[in-house]
Chain A
Amino acid sequence: MIARRSIFVPAMLACGFAFLYVPILSMIVYSFNNSRLVTVWDSAHSPTLKWYALLMQNEQIMGAALLSIKVATLNACISVVLGTLAGLVLARFGRFRGRTLLGAMTAAPLVMPEIITGLSMLMLFVAMERLIGWPAGRGITTITIAHVTFSMAYVTVIIQSRLANFDDSLEEAAMDLGARPVTVFRRITLPLIMPAVVSGWLLAFTLSWDDVVISQFVAGPSSTTLPMVIFSKVRLGVSPDINALATIMVLIVATGVVVSALWLRRLERRRWREMQMAVE
């Protein structure tokens, strides 16, 4: 490449990453601060783990966390199924009636403001309850349904772009050998796109785990998710136990991301190599 390298781009990269990470790091640091004021460092009594202890005893937060995990897991599993089906249809089925509609409906949730989605889904649940009696009241069911509706759009994009990179002569070979379409999908396509499916699952999980706005609309009185609890707390100002919670979450996520990135990369590379060798 051309030899002259300016300092601008690397500097911007450094600034950008600093911008991204300094807030997170500051949050972590102040979670060990003894002072209730969070950002005023109490050097006499810090660092301390007392906020972490308090956090563990906080039933409201623990209960909400459990609920969020349940909803997020449920959401991820369902979204992955629906999203894979949708991605498959859009990538492989060519032209059919309703294709543009499906394409539009899997693209729109990616940008639709959550406030609109939340409002409209609540209206739907209210109308459905009046009409057919289900869903009765707002709770885990409604939250899950709402989350699935927007998560599956993300999964669809991931699966669709993975399939676009896929050499379909492998599937054709399988069919040539007598495998029916369902078998082809189960034994050829699915294993080879598994890394994308796993990414999709993780993404759907995170989206649900993180969601505030939509949950506020469609959650019921007895079902409060963790983000809802956090949001109502932080509206009133900073709170040190939230810092502690944040640190825990960041650590879990960081470990998860690094581990899964490495594992996925190895899996992906192996699959890709296998596929290349098969096609050559």
Chain B
Amino acid sequence: MMVDRLDAPIEHLLRELAPQVLSPVVRRFRDFGAAEDAVQEALIAAAAQWPRDGVPANPRGWLIQVASRRMADHIRSEIARRRREEAAAEEAERLALPVEEATESGEDDMLVLLFMCCHPALTPASAIALTLRAVGGLTTAEIANAFLVPEATMAQRISRAKQSIKESGVPFHLPTAEDRAQRLRAVLHVLYLIFNEGYVSSAGPQLRRADLSDEAIRLARIVYSRQPEDTEVAGLLALMLLTDARRAARTGPNGELIPLAQQNRALWDRQQIAEGIALLSTALPKGSVGPYQLQAAIAAVHDEAARNEDTDWPQILALYELLQRMSDNPMIVLNHAIAVAMVHGPEKGLELLRALDSDPRLAKGHRLEAVRAHLLERAGDHEAAILHYRNAAIHATSLPERNYLMLQAAKLSEMRSTDS
């Protein structure tokens, strides 16, 4: 559906309202999948009419009414199909009654939606798509564009996600106290995945592309506002801010990758860094330190260094040692090896990498090779470094990474030929 570039304030308003409309409609009609469809139709209607007729005095009420009417139509046609005409007429009348806007449930609807969309029964791809739609208020086209897949494909992912929810019988309530912690972890994980996906190349000219990193931060803020006491929620938000702060310095004019050590720190966003550090300062003292807080703390140590050479590597090393106890994620092991190298010398780091050679999760990738090459370079073994940079380049999964690794090999190669 081609829509002229939508008025920005209206677009923002619709995104904000989307989850606030979905919740009462779901509560009223008890069919999450159909409610989500009805709300989508209401949003599309608003996007078409409001720029022309003006935003209504009660935009949320307007959307709830339109969505409810769509739901009533949907149910009416279902009933007509079952041919119970009298009951159908009665049902239709009952359903046409206006939905009470203040369908107070005593629960936080935003959180309920988030928990539902991030339910462990869903695949990560489904959860990401559904969260961006139902909670983020993005259109299917915008989500498709962000993930560089056709709209029809993304529509199917969302449809299948809703089907999974229906089949798993997830109720529209907050999880029980015993499930809460695990379900919250699932939500945080989905938001983390969305944030990571946020690093995408330039998009097409027509559709407004939602910046996934910004969206992840926005959703994390929402969770934080609802659960300010949860330190891992604060940790994730801090991690996102402290990482996103470096965005402007990450790519060069030709789209090339600029690693942390070489970034122009004047381009880092100081406000985001300050906010991230403030979040950590309130969370860490509470004592229930988790992996997101630790990763955020590491990011904070990097972000606090005025120059690359001022980086407090011993502190980073200590943090990675703590982090390794909580997680066996091979990326953490790799980064720990780098920290060891920075504090105790490259040979010590290389020793740790040898232990990873047998890890199947790293075997076929380029990361282990890239880190090894980097440490060999630092150790002065340029011949070996060149070999491993080139091997890493061959296995790189993105062009900027491949180009960067090939360039590193080329630089070292040049140095060797001028020396000899």
- Whether A associates with B in a native complex is no
A residues whose Cβ falls under 8 Å from a Cβ of B: none
